[in-house]
Structure 1
Amino acid sequence: MVSQLAKRFIRRFLKGFLSGVGLYAGFKTVTALVKNPFRERLPNIAKEILSKDCVRFAAFLGLYPSVYEFLVRTIHKIRGTKDGWNHGIAGGLAGLTIVLENPVRRRTLSLFTISRALGALVSTLITRGQIPSIVHGDTLLFCLSCSFLVYCTALRPHLLPKGYYYSVLKWSRDYTDDNLNQLFRVPGEKFLTCNEVGLHTDSCTSHALRDLIQSWPMFAKLYLPIHLAPVLIFRHKLLINRPAKVLRSLIKNTVMSTTFLASMVMLAKYVVCFLRTTLREPPPLRHYIPAVAGLVAGLGVLFERANRRKELVLFLIPHTLYALFVWGMEKHILPWVPYSSVPLFALSTASIMHAYEREPDSMTPLINGILRYFVGERVDKSKRAIKLRTESELM
């Protein structure tokens, strides 16, 4: 029995560790190409793989699923029963392995899992009829998060993760930290037109329409690999069996996602532009202007499929939580606790692993697919419906 547990532990660890090395190397390569697509050679992958950071990342991806599986079997043996508590306790204890990660990635993963745990909890409560379902609730929550994040981008960028803030500026195509300071943040004596700070020479409406068209190819390059990766990793059998239908779905999903992001960015910029020009006031910008712009821009999520909207909300929530956390510390409402992300991650993974085993419909197909790859199939054999639902949502 012990030798069998040890073999399973080692096998699961090696799968997770090697997958972590591959993901790390792939991420470094793609990041280098995105930053400079015309570079003459790829980064030194061997050096990246042997780095301490790569080992920490891979070790976590190896340890979490192997410790989780070991604990599920051990707890079941001790308690003598199979229920959701086994998976919740094992998921929480295994989550403590996040301590191996570097502080930045540990914080990011903690916020990611918190949002997923909250999403799973709300979905479960709605399914059980304990809270009412709100029509277009995902869209409303997305708009509210978008409103807050656009406000932070325009007026309080220090509340956002630095990488996320500069990604937003890159998506905008013409905003920079310097011209945002000049237009929105630093007090001035007169109203500044977009032309005066070098944004555009034509009208705001003409610029918005042209910007929408010109940004579309850039966002298509961003979204194609995002939609392609899950197909190749988790649904390659479906691709082999039904290639034409999967490819049509891939093209359709890429087009809709690209249209969503292009329209969202355009609306955020255009509404700010329109309200500024209407008021014609010197900077700083009134606080409600970027908030209203974000609220309107969030409606672009309606271009996405309904089941994708939940995933997009869960993408924004970690950034929103981070900004609120920084704001709370700034106002001395929240204290700084070293390693606080470790217990938060553990609590979140306890909820997520319980949901994965007992309430899989409460999580998105992407999260179900990731967990199935790393921790294995669910113990409950009634998983066929999940697989069929996942395949139908791909279509």
Structure 2
Amino acid sequence: MSINNRGLSKEFQERIINDLGIVECSDFHDGTCLYASFIRLLQLIPKSYKYYIPIHLIPFLIFKRKRVMQRPLKTISVAFYNYAKSVLFVSLYVAICKYALCKLKNIRHKVDGWNPALAASAACSALFLESEGRRQEIALFIFPKSLETAWRLLKKRGYVTNIKGWELFLFGLAMGIINYFYHYDDAAIKSTYLTIFKNFWGKD
């Protein structure tokens, strides 16, 4: 019993409707869990490269034009290497997550919210493929999203309520922190961002 081209099989739908127990891995994929995850990895690589082209290309064209003129071969090869690592990272992340979901279901003999949470935590090991600078950027991008998700969950369960104008306070706080370090410790700001700030705010 497996998922056909039109979606879930009739038997699988009946199992879900009647709550007959935990679904089997064979309901989701052919072969072993490891094999299915590897196939998923290979499928994602050609899909992921389009996503990372603007992420790597735009900063490259804006901030590294002089370096390209001075050392074209080395600069372009390093940029392509970093680009390839990013593509592999996101593809491997999904593949590990898929594999972990299968294994956690089989080990815990249940399907609940802990399975995707633990699977995503295990998949974070793929982040080590990225350079240290990129790891920091991804972490700084994800952290506010996690806070936003936690807030919405608390709101959904009635633990918190909307605070009028709260986003203005957060924006002001964030800009205050950035401006402080810009004036007193600009080494703490990434060089690419620092260049943008200098263009807008000046050097004084």
Using the size of structure 2 for normalisation, the TM-score is 0.83
Q: Which residue of 1 aligns with 2:175?
A: 349
Q: How many angstroms apart in 2 are the aligned matches of 1:238 and 1:375? A: 24
Q: Which residue of 2 aligns with 1:389?
A: none
Corresponding residue to 2:193 among 363, 367, 379: 367
Q: Is the 8 A contact 1:256 1:304 kept in 2?
A: yes
Q: Which residue of 2 aligns with 1:247?
A: 76
Amino acid at match of 1:250: A
Amino acid at match of 2:168: V
1:256 paired with 2:109, answer no
Q: Which residue of 1 aligns with 2:52?
A: 223
| CA displacement at 1:194 relative to structure 2 | 4.0
Corresponding residue to 2:113 among 276, 280, 287: 287
Q: How many angstroms apart in 2 are the aligned matches of 1:187 and 1:268? A: 27
Q: How many angstroms apart in 1 are the aligned matches of 2:81 and 2:200? A: 29
- Structure 1 residues without counterparts, runs of 5 or longer: 1-173, 380-395
- Structure 2 residues without counterparts, runs of 5 or longer: none
1:1-24 deviation line (CA, Å, top 9, x unaligned): xxxxxxxxxxxxxxxxxxxxxxxx
Q: Is the 8 A contact 1:204 1:270 kept in 2?
A: yes
1:329 paired with 2:140, answer no
| CA displacement at 1:279 relative to structure 2 | 4.3
Q: How many angstroms apart in 1 are the aligned matches of 2:193 and 2:33? A: 40
1:200 paired with 2:26, answer no
Q: How many angstroms apart in 2 are the aligned matches of 1:186 and 1:325? A: 32
| CA displacement at 1:369 relative to structure 2 | 3.5
Q: How many angstroms apart in 1 are the aligned matches of 2:160 and 2:109? A: 38
Q: Percent identity of the aligned residues?
A: 25
| CA displacement at 1:187 relative to structure 2 | 8.6
1:146-176 deviation line (CA, Å, top 9, x unaligned): xxxxxxxxxxxxxxxxxxxxxxxxxxxx9xx
> Structure 1 residues 368, 202: CA separation in 2 closer, same or farther (over 3 Å shift)?
same
Q: How many residues align?
A: 193
Q: Is the 8 A contact 1:227 1:254 kept in 2?
A: yes
Q: How many angstroms apart in 2 are the aligned matches of 1:333 and 1:369? A: 42
1:314 paired with 2:140, answer yes
> Structure 1 residues 187, 313: CA separation in 2 closer, same or farther (over 3 Å shift)?
farther
Q: Which residue of 2 aligns with 1:169?
A: none
> Structure 1 residues 366, 261: CA separation in 2 closer, same or farther (over 3 Å shift)?
farther
1:237 paired with 2:66, answer yes
Question: Which shows bigger deviation, 360-369 or 211-220?
Answer: 360-369
| CA displacement at 1:280 relative to structure 2 | 4.4
What is the SS of the residue equivalent to 1:208?
Answer: helix
1:358 paired with 2:184, answer yes
1:1-395 to 2 correspondences below 5 Å: 188-196=19-27, 199-281=28-110, 285-376=111-202, 378-379=203-204
Higher relative contact order by CA 8 Å / sep ≥ 6: 1 or 2?
A: 1
Q: How many angstroms apart in 2 are the aligned matches of 1:260 and 1:367? A: 24
> Structure 1 residues 191, 328: CA separation in 2 closer, same or farther (over 3 Å shift)?
closer
1:177-205 deviation line (CA, Å, top 9, x unaligned): x98xx8xx989222212443xx4222211
Q: Is the 8 A contact 1:223 1:257 kept in 2?
A: yes
1:204-255 deviation line (CA, Å, top 9, x unaligned): 1111111112211222222232111111122222222222121011111011
> Structure 1 residues 186, 304: CA separation in 2 closer, same or farther (over 3 Å shift)?
farther
> Structure 1 residues 362, 188: CA separation in 2 closer, same or farther (over 3 Å shift)?
farther
Amino acid at match of 1:292: L
CA RMSD across the alignment = 2.5
Q: Is the 8 A contact 1:268 1:297 kept in 2?
A: yes
Q: How many angstroms apart in 1 are the aligned matches of 2:159 and 2:187? A: 36
What is the SS of the residue equivalent to 1:275?
Answer: helix
Q: How many angstroms apart in 1 are the aligned matches of 2:191 and 2:24? A: 46
